[in-house]
Amino acid sequence: MVRLADRIAAANADAMDRLARAAPVWRGVREARTLIPALTGRTLLHAGPPIAPAALCGPMRGAILGAALLEGWADTSDEAARLLDSGAITLRCTHDHGAVGPMAGIISPTMPLCDVRDATTGTVACCPLNEGIGAVLRFGAYDPAVLERLRWIQSMLGPALDSALQTLGGLPLVPLMARALTMGDEMHQRNVAATALCIRALAPVLADSALPAATVAQVLRFLADNDQFFLNVAMAACKCIADGLRDIPHSTIVTAMSRNGVEFGLRVSGLGAAWFTAPAPVPDGLYFPGYGAPDANPDMGDSAIVETVGLGGMAMIAAPAVVGFVGLRSAQDALRTTTRMGEITVGPNPHFKIPALDFAGTPTGIDIRRVVELETEPVINTGIAHRRAGVGQIGAGIARAPLLAFQKALAAFAERYAT
């Protein structure tokens, strides 16, 4: 008789083998409704586990109102609010539809999305294009300048990037991300190197294209001014990888961690699409001048997908520039964080190597058993949003995935497999 522990070990080894073979490629930029059939009528996707309109936090509610205005479903924010509160707008979870989004994570039917596909399995994942910093939809802003920028992204940035990617035949993402990690990125709070490498690949093609020179200049200037541009691309790549690990019977590896500003949720390979939730934590970290913990919204966004496959907080020691920004005191704190994450994961990442650790792979494959046994919560690098819609980012720090969600997942795993 095969022991349960042996079945789990074999299943987790299968998951790590799939991860090693993953080869996500940024194939193009597509309108959301062409990639996500569920985006019919007045339907929006949001970050995190499912949530009812009445329970929405301020930034996510603001982002929904902005998306309704962008789509032309309403002419004013009050009219958009009435649609939302009446149930006329349908809300669905991004992770249920092969998508991820940062912070509020709102995806509406006509938004341009990164189309990322695994060259080995055909798995598709997508994410909106990064809007830049300041007043942006993902933090719940929806003033005329925000909507104007989103329309420019729809009409100019998206098509230009798609043209360049078609000419390239796609951009393989794992080699680019692996290189960026050795250059000081951890692909969550710091994407300076990854963005630069991405621009390096796209710029010559854009310059040689038939696009008007003014368009090329605007696109390149936007990319050059946005150090976090690659975050969204990395999220789509990591979603593509993580979805390849889903639905492996007996696997205890986490395949998604996400937050909707109210609840944190996780999924486990051997438990399919079930969400296991707990209250979303307020991040610990540094605040911009004039703000403090009372202003902070609980953690929000799908961006923890990067930690799920060994980046972000898992790779803290790879990104010295992030240490102070997220509230750590020293490089030794970063080393302790990455080392501690190694205790709750299945093994080293075969793609993402850390120079400071003699090129050991980043800790990858969060194991719900080890999290519960050691009472060690996974670390997530994150931005901090103001509780009110439209104020935007007020700091950055670390959120710890709540132990309660892992305890719930382990109990459900035992109920399914231990009999």
What's the mean per-residue pLDDT of the chain?
A: 95
Q: Are 37 and 109 in contact (CB under 8 A)?
A: no
Provide mean pLDDT across the span 367-393: 93
Segments forming the whole domain that contains residue 269? 246-417
Q: How far is it, in rounded angstroms, from Cα 39 to Cα 253?
A: 30
Which tokens is 250 given?
């007996």
Measured in whole angstroms, the distance separating CA 207 from the mean position of its chain's CA atoms is 30
Same domain flag for 266 and 213: no
Strands (E), 19-87: 24-31, 43-46
**DSSP 8-state class, residue 291:** -
The residues that bridge with 267 in the sheet, in sequence order, are: 256
In a domain, 282, yes or no: yes
pLDDT for res 133: 85
**pLDDT digits 0-9 by tens, 9-29:** 999 999 999 999 999 999 999
Last residue in a domain, options 236, 270, 291: 236
Measured in degrees and rounded to the nearest 5, phi and psi for residue 117 equal: -130, 140
Q: How far is it, in rounded angstroms, from Cα 356 to Cα 184?
A: 10
Please choose, from the candidates 134, 135, 115, the residue with its C-alpha nearest in 3D space to the C-alpha of residue 125: 115
Which tokens is 284 given?
């610990």
Provide mean pLDDT across the span 82-95: 97
Q: Are 60 and 66 in contact (CB under 8 A)?
A: no
In a domain, 34, yes or no: yes
Measured in whole angstroms, the distance separating CA 365 from the mean position of its chain's CA atoms is 16
Last residue in a domain, options 209, 236, 263: 236
Strands 300-301 and 254-260: antiparallel
Q: Given the structure tokens 């902005």, which residue do they identify?
A: 66
Q: How far is it, in rounded angstroms, from Cα 228 to Cα 225?
A: 9
CATH code: domain of residue 193:
3.90.1710.10
Looking at the structure of the chain, the number of domains it has is 2
pTM of the model: 0.96
Same domain flag for 220 and 302: no
Same domain flag for 347 and 199: no
In a domain, 11, yes or no: no
Provide mean pLDDT across the span 28-44: 97
Last residue in a domain, options 212, 236, 260: 236
Residue 259 has pLDDT above 60, yes or no: yes
Residue 23: strand, helix, or coil? coil
- pLDDT bucket at 241, cuts 50 / 70 / 90: very high
**pLDDT digits 0-9 by tens, 140-161:** 999 999 999 999 999 999 999 9
Same domain flag for 207 and 267: no
Same domain flag for 342 and 391: yes
Which tokens is 264 given?
């944190």
Same domain flag for 355 and 212: no
Same domain flag for 179 and 272: no
Provide mean pLDDT across the span 77-100: 97
The residues that bridge with 263 in the sheet, in sequence order, are: 279
pLDDT for res 322: 77
Q: What is the CA radius of gyration of the chain?
A: 20
Residue 393 has pLDDT above 90, yes or no: no
In a domain, 372, yes or no: yes
Same domain flag for 138 and 68: yes
In a domain, 14, yes or no: no
Same domain flag for 67 and 207: yes
Q: How far is it, in rounded angstroms, from Cα 409 to Cα 276?
A: 6
CATH code: domain of residue 358:
3.90.1700.10
Residue 418: strand, helix, or coil? coil
What are the angstrom distances between the C-alpha of 148 and each of 160, 209, 241? 17, 25, 33
Q: How far is it, in rounded angstroms, from Cα 13 to Cα 269?
A: 12
Same domain flag for 151 and 272: no
Residue 1 has pLDDT above 80, yes or no: no
Same domain flag for 295 and 227: no
Q: How far is it, in rounded angstroms, from Cα 70 to Cα 391?
A: 19
Same domain flag for 372 and 399: yes
Please choose, from the candidates 280, 194, 202, the residue with its C-alpha nearest in 3D space to the C-alpha of residue 238: 194
In a domain, 316, yes or no: yes
pLDDT for res 325: 60
Residue 270 has pLDDT above 90, yes or no: yes
Provide mean pLDDT across the span 219-223: 96
In a domain, 241, yes or no: no
Number of helical (H) and strand (E) elements in the chain, helices listed first: 15, 15
Residue 369 has pLDDT above 90, yes or no: yes
In a domain, 16, yes or no: no
